[in-house]
A and B are shown apart, each in its own frame.
Chain A
Amino acid sequence: MTLPQRIALSSFWLSHLTFWLTLALSMAWGVTDICIPYLTGCTSITATGIPDPQAFIFRGGLIAACVLFIVWWYCMQAWLIEIAPERPIWTVRYMVTAGIISSVCLIIATAVLRPDKGNLPWILHTVGAALFFLISLAVQTRITYWLKHLAKRGVDIGSSLPQKFILVYAQWFFLGVMIVLQVADSDDRWKNVVEWWMALLIGLFYLTSYRDWADFRLTDTE
């Protein structure tokens, strides 16, 4: 397994194992009902990371995963430069910067979580998390279209483009749903469902590069 493949795998699994483990612990200790939040929205991702000791796992896992996301974006840039015959458009060249900004937003959103909900800086957390989702979606969409552009020119971009399109379109769909829910001031349960799916889709996007990067070596020593 190459280093970029490891980064793709660990970006997804570290973040999602963190979510699922904290969710399982919340259920085991009766903090939340036993349910499937992707379907029922019984709890939000944030809620699983607030009470101790789940919060220890949550912040340790998710902040570490955010740094891996940054490395993933670096790998993506290096890969694009290696496979593409032309210099990428500026929006693609600056994707590492955008990836860093989105990851820092999520780091901030995660770091401010604390057990005493009353004193939690909710605005900072919400803005940080929302910016992460929005910027990640924007950059993932840009990359997907850039890959399509390269594929049309006969560049071997791997086999994950259809999956990437499905994941990106699904994220835009859920973003639209979230906007409608916010405007309609809907029940939190539906917002929770959207939040869980958005996080899963963003994570799966990182994972899709696993197969594409089978022959991509970041370093000579690999």
Chain B
Amino acid sequence: MTLPQRTALVACLLPIITIALSYFLTVQGGHKPWCIPYFEGCTTITATGIYYPAAYVFRAGLISAAVVFILWWYCVRAWLESVGRPEHHPWIHRIVTFAIIASMLLIASIAVLGEHMLPPSDHRFLWRFHTVTAGLFFLVTALCQIMMTLRMRQLQRELNIKFSRIASKQILAVLQLLLLAAFVLILLLDLKTDGVEEIFEWWLATFSCLYFYTTFHDWRDFRLTRREKELALQQDETLQEVTA
């Protein structure tokens, strides 16, 4: 497994495992009911990171995951630049910069969570801060992922990517956009929704994580470091010698 592949895997699994473990601990502590939040919307992702000891796992896992997201975006930049089209570089740099800022917002959003935020009515500023920063993370990350997909389509031949792999990214990107649009509509029209927002939140986070995973197969032959490239070349030469 190459370094970029490991990054893609960790960027997908670390947040999913963290959230699942936090939810399990929150339920065990009797703070939230046992359910399938993807369908029942019985709790928000944020709520799984409020109560101790779930909050410890939540903040440790998600703040670390945010830094892994930054590394993942760095891999994206190196990968898209490896095609050697300098005219695309400023565009790619801008996307990656925005995505890195979004990941930093996620760190800020998670760092404020804990039981000190209870009761919510007494800590409106912290809740608003968390909601705005988390919302911006999802919005900017989704937009950057959509932009990245567009650029991949343009570079499909040079990057040697199958159409199905780009299609999976497009589907995930569009689903994220639809969920975000639904969120904005609910907010603007002040609709009374019972659990719908929570369901959307769980799916949005999952789609975002799955998007990180989609590059796992794309990066099978992409080596981030020079050392990795040298090792791959050596392996190829050995294989050729054996075959000969």
State the A residues within 8 Å of B (CB): 3, 52-53, 55-57, 59-60, 63-64, 66-68, 71, 78, 81-82, 107-108, 110-112, 114-116, 119, 121, 217-221
Contact = CB atoms under 8 A, between A and B. Distances in A.
14 contacts: A56-B112, A64-B63, A64-B64, A66-B64, A67-B68, A68-B67, A78-B227, A81-B227, A82-B226, A108-B56, A111-B59, A219-B226, A220-B82, A221-B77
The A contact surface, by secondary structure, is helix
A217 B229 CA distance: 13
Contacts of B139: none
A60 B226 contact: no
B45 interface: no
Given A52-B116, A111-B56, A221-B78, A57 B64 contact: no
B60 interface: yes
Residue among A59, A110, A116, A219 having the largest count of chain B Cβ atoms under 10 Å: A219
Contact of B114 (A82, A108, A114): A114
Contacts of B13: none
Given A218-B226, A221-B81, 15 more contacts: A52-B116, A55-B111, A59-B63, A63-B64, A63-B107, A64-B66, A64-B67, A78-B227, A82-B227, A114-B114, A114-B116, A116-B115, A116-B116, A218-B224, A221-B78
B108 interface: yes
A66 B60 CA distance: 10
Interface residues of B, number: 31
Contacts of B168: none
A111 B114 CA distance: 10
A43 B111 CA distance: 22
B71 to A, nearest CB: 7
Contacts of B67: 64, 67-68
A63 B115 contact: no
B116 A115 contact: yes
A112 B68 CA distance: 21
Interface string B169-204: 000000000000000000000000000000000000
Contacts of B111: 55-57, 59-60
A52 B115 CA distance: 11
Contacts of A107: 60, 64
Interface in B81-117: 81-82, 107-108, 110-112, 114-116
A218 B56 contact: no
